[in-house]
Each structure stands twice: as C-alpha cells, then as structure tokens.
C-alpha cells in the first residue's frame, strides 16, 4: 500500500512539473508576442558629444515626475479666448507683435553649425530676430551669444535643457531652471537684457508663467509654426511661412535641436519676399 502511495505521489509530482513547464513556456511565448511599452526618456536625446537634439515640439507627454515630461498635454497653439486681445493667449502668453511688423524667432540654440549661418543671412537682409536660447548651449557656445547680441538681436530664455515638462515641476525648480539659464546667458553677455521666456514645446502652465513673470520675463508663444522642427525641407518651410505670414506674426523657427539646414536654406526664400512685404524686427528688449 505504501509503495502504491509512493508511486502515486511521484506520478503527481511529474504531472505538476510538466504542467508548470508548459504554462511557463506559454507565458514566455505570449509575452514575446506583445511589444514592449514605449520608454519615456528626457526631452533631450544626444546625437553627438556636443550637439543635443530636442524632441518633437508638439508631442504630448505623460506624467512622470522624475523625467522631462509635463503632466498635461497643452495644444501647440495657445487658443484665443472669445473677446480677448488677439495679441495675447489665455494665460498671458504673447501671440503677436501687436504691430504691423513680423518677428522671426529661433529656438534651441545657439548651435555652432546653424546659428552662424542664420546670423549671416539675417545680416545680409538687414533683419533682426529673437533667439530663444537653451542654457546648456549658451554655456557651451558663449561666443555665439555674444555675436547674437552684438548684431542687434534680442535674447529669450528657453530653459536650461529644453525641459518640456518644466511647467509641471515645483515652483522652486522652475525658478532655479530659469535663473540658471539667464545666468549662463549673462555669463556670456553681462549687459544683455533677457526679458522674454519661451516654454519648450509651448507646454505652458500657470506655475511656469508665474515664475517667468516674477523674474521679469514675458511669456512668449507664437502664431505661425511652419513645423521646421520636423525638418520637412526648405521648400516646405518657406512655402508655409510665405503663405501664412500676416502683420503681427511671430514665426517659430529653429537654429538647433536637430538638423536645421532646411531652415537655414529656407531663409534665402523667405527673407527676400517678407522684407518686401513687411518690416521684420526683433521683439523689443523691454518685453510687454
């Protein structure tokens, strides 16, 4: 009887092992057929030792307090509230020059390859612009910050490392980021006013707007985006700008954050026509 019980126990044990193995194999097979969820990293991806590339300007992000993502996904264009001054967005972001002039703005630089080309073209057409600089890049290329200022352009704070989620951080962290960026700019150009702030990705929140205003900077948005950050090519960038430009337009362009040769080349098509139709000037250094 005991031998019978022992044999039964062994048989049951073998069956258990077989079932466990089969179930385990089925799980692994099923898991291998399910794609891994996307990994959410920083808004900055490194493409070279010295040249960071920034994420999609309008890409929504998901909550992750330890990473560079906002906790909300605001629209790329801040909508105008009914009856509101069309020069300003609902949170007070500047959407228009408020004049018949057009303002070209260049984000994410300075960059040693593209910014000098942009400056040369602007110089050729006697146009001044507004450069929204990233603190890390200002620190890395101070001579370009100095050249921007020397040629009569306006500077704008664009956060330390293009943190799209900065507006979801604590007030202390937001303030420290903006102060650190302005300090890097002033280390290169001590006398240069920094009276504008542009949130990366246009991901505005009330805390980041409040912090920028407390530090004497006006939140700067845009009302014409040719999506040059997607690198669609010079012809497409130029066609959009020339078709949509209006008196008061604030045009969003980029001189860093990726391959910006298309933007550089587009300027040779944009500037001859725009300068014939409008006055193009940098935004004023006093903000609004």
Catalytic hit among 162, 221, 254, 281: 254
Q: Which residues pair with 105 in a beta bridge?
A: 130, 252
Q: Which residues pair with 54 in a beta bridge?
A: 44
Collapsed DSSP state (helix, strand, coil) of residue 104: strand
Q: Which residues pair with 46 in a beta bridge?
A: 52
Sign of the alpha-carbon torsion through 173, 155, 254, 210: positive
Catalytic residue flag (residue 177): no
> Quick count: other Cβ atoms within 10 Å of Cβ 233?
15
Q: Which residues pair with 224 in a beta bridge?
A: 251
The two tokens of residue 46 are 């490194």
Catalytic residue flag (residue 107): yes
DSSP code of 257? B
- The answer for residues whose C-beta is within 8 angstroms of residue 174's C-beta and 6 or more apart is 166, 167, 207, 208, 211
Catalytic hit among 68, 107, 163, 225: 107
Contact 118, 267 (CB under 8 A): yes
Longest Cα–Cα distance in the chain? 106
Contact 164, 69 (CB under 8 A): yes
> Quick count: other Cβ atoms within 10 Å of Cβ 244?
13
DSSP code of 45? E
Spatial separation of the C-alpha atoms in residues 223 and 240, rounded to whole Å: 12
Active-site amino acid positions: 107, 254
């Amino acid at each position: 009887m005991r031998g019978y019980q022992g044999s039964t126990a062994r048989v049951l044990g073998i069956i258990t092992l077989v079932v466990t193995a089969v179930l385990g194999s089925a799980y692994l097979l099923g898991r291998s057929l399910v794609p891994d969820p996307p990994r959410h990293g920083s808004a900055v991806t490194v493409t070279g030792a010295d040249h960071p590339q920034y994420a999609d300007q309008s890409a929504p992000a998901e909550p992750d307090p330890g990473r560079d993502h906002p906790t909300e996904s605001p629209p790329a264009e801040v909508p105008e509230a009914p009856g509101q001054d069309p020069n300003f967005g609902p949170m007070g972001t500047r959407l228009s020059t408020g004049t018949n002039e057009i303002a070209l703005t260049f984000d994410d630089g300075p960059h040693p390859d593209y910014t000098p080309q942009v400056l040369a073209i602007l110089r050729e057409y006697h146009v001044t612009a507004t450069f929204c600089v990233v603190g890390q890049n200002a620190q890395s290329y101070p001579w370009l910050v100095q050249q921007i200022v020397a040629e009569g352009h306006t500077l704008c704070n664009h956060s330390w490392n293009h943190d799209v989620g900065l507006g979801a951080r604590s007030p202390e962290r937001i303030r420290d980021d903006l102060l650190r960026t302005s300090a890097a700019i002033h280390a290169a150009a001590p006398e240069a006013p920094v009276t504008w702030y542009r949130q990366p990705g246009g991901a505005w929140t009330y805390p980041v707007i409040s912090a920028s205003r407390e530090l004497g900077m006006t939140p700067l948005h845009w009302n014409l985006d040719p999506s040059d950050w997607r690198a669609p090519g010079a012809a497409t960038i130029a066609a959009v700008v020339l078709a949509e430009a209006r008196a008061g337009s604030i045009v969003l362009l980029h001189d860093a954050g990726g391959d910006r040769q298309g933007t550089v080349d587009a300027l040779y098509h944009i500037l001859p026509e725009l300068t014939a139709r409008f006055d193009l000037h940098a935004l004023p250094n006093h903000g609004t």
